[in-house]
Amino acid sequence: MSASLAGKTLFITGASRGIGLAIALRAAKEGANIAIAAKSAVANPKLPGTIHSAAAEVEAAGGQALALRCDIREEDEVQAAVAATVERFGGIDILVNNASAIWLKGLAETPMKRFDLMQQVNARGSFLCAQVCLPHLRKAYNPQILTLAPPPTLAPRWWGPHTGYTLAKMGMSFVTLGLAAELGPQGIGVSALWPQTVIATDALKMIPGVDEAGCRTPQIVADAAAVILARPAAENNGRFFLDEAVLREAGVEDFSAYAVDPDQPLLPDLFLD
């Protein structure tokens, strides 16, 4: 990634751990300002990482950080977090919709509370954050919205096993599709990024039978995000990227450093044929 993110302000949801934190740290190395918007404000022994530990890592990596306790299901909390970001850094250049809820069960095994959570966090949360950030993105140079969502698919093989989660995740994809059509002509690039292989994060605990040895680290997604966000917004608008393809196009040939265990075959991620 070039130094084009130096001085840029990124509002990243779910950035206290996993892929969100990896993207935050990658941008921080270029001197970016990072608003860490997530629910984890208190340490949990079962789930490492809080907004405060993430902020410390961002600043150690060379960026400026703002820890924001924010539940993206709550409109007033998102408005307060965005206002605090603008007050601290003077604006918002990039929104990264990373926060997502997962539940890979079928109809009978999906409590409605869990179904509602996924819809509220994934599609609605992404839409809400874009809406609240929009006035500030309109003032930015090369403004972008990047959402961690897969290429849209209607293939039954991805819907049948876990309709609730697929609906929620495809909701993020369709929000991306719609906002790209609406905001692209206004100069705001809206795109999505999805991993080619399963990524070793805490979400693995929700996927039965997945061995971390067949996964890649979140760094590959972060490096791909960095390449995307360094481009002119118009080049990205409406596109659904895969991390490996982005990096191959950027000249990367050896991906072994991203593997948890380079000797193990990689597991393809969900929603990819």
Domain assignment present for 78: yes
How many whole angstroms from its chain centre is CA 126? 10
Q: Which CATH number is 215's domain given? A: 3.40.50.720
Burial label for 224, CB within 10 Å (0-12, 13-18, 19+), is buried
Domain assignment present for 225: yes
Distance of alpha carbon 132 from alpha carbon 61, whole angstroms: 28
Are the CB atoms for 39 and 71 separated by under 8 Å?
A: yes
DSSP 198-259: -B-SGGGGGSTT--GGG-B-THHHHHHHHHHHTS-HHHHTT-EEEHHHHHHHTT----GGGB
Domain assignment present for 69: yes
- Residues with active-site annotation: 165
Domain assignment present for 74: yes
Question: Residue 114: its pLDDT value, please?
Answer: 98
Q: pTM of the predicted model, to two decimals?
A: 0.96
Q: Domain range spanning residue 179?
A: 3-258
How many whole angstroms from its chain centre is CA 40? 16
Question: Residue 3: its pLDDT value, please?
Answer: 52
Question: Chunked in runs of 10, what are the mean pLDDT values of the chain (273 residues)?
Answer: 81 97 98 96 80 98 98 98 98 98 97 98 98 98 98 98 98 98 98 98 78 96 98 98 98 98 96 94
Domain assignment present for 269: no
Domain assignment present for 134: yes
- Number of domains the chain contains: 1
Domain assignment present for 266: no
* Two tokens, residue 108: 């009978």
Interaxial angle between packed helices 51-60 and 18-28, expressed in degrees from 0 to 180 and rounded to the nearest 10: 30
Question: Residue 203: its pLDDT value, please?
Answer: 76
Question: Residue 2: its pLDDT value, please?
Answer: 47
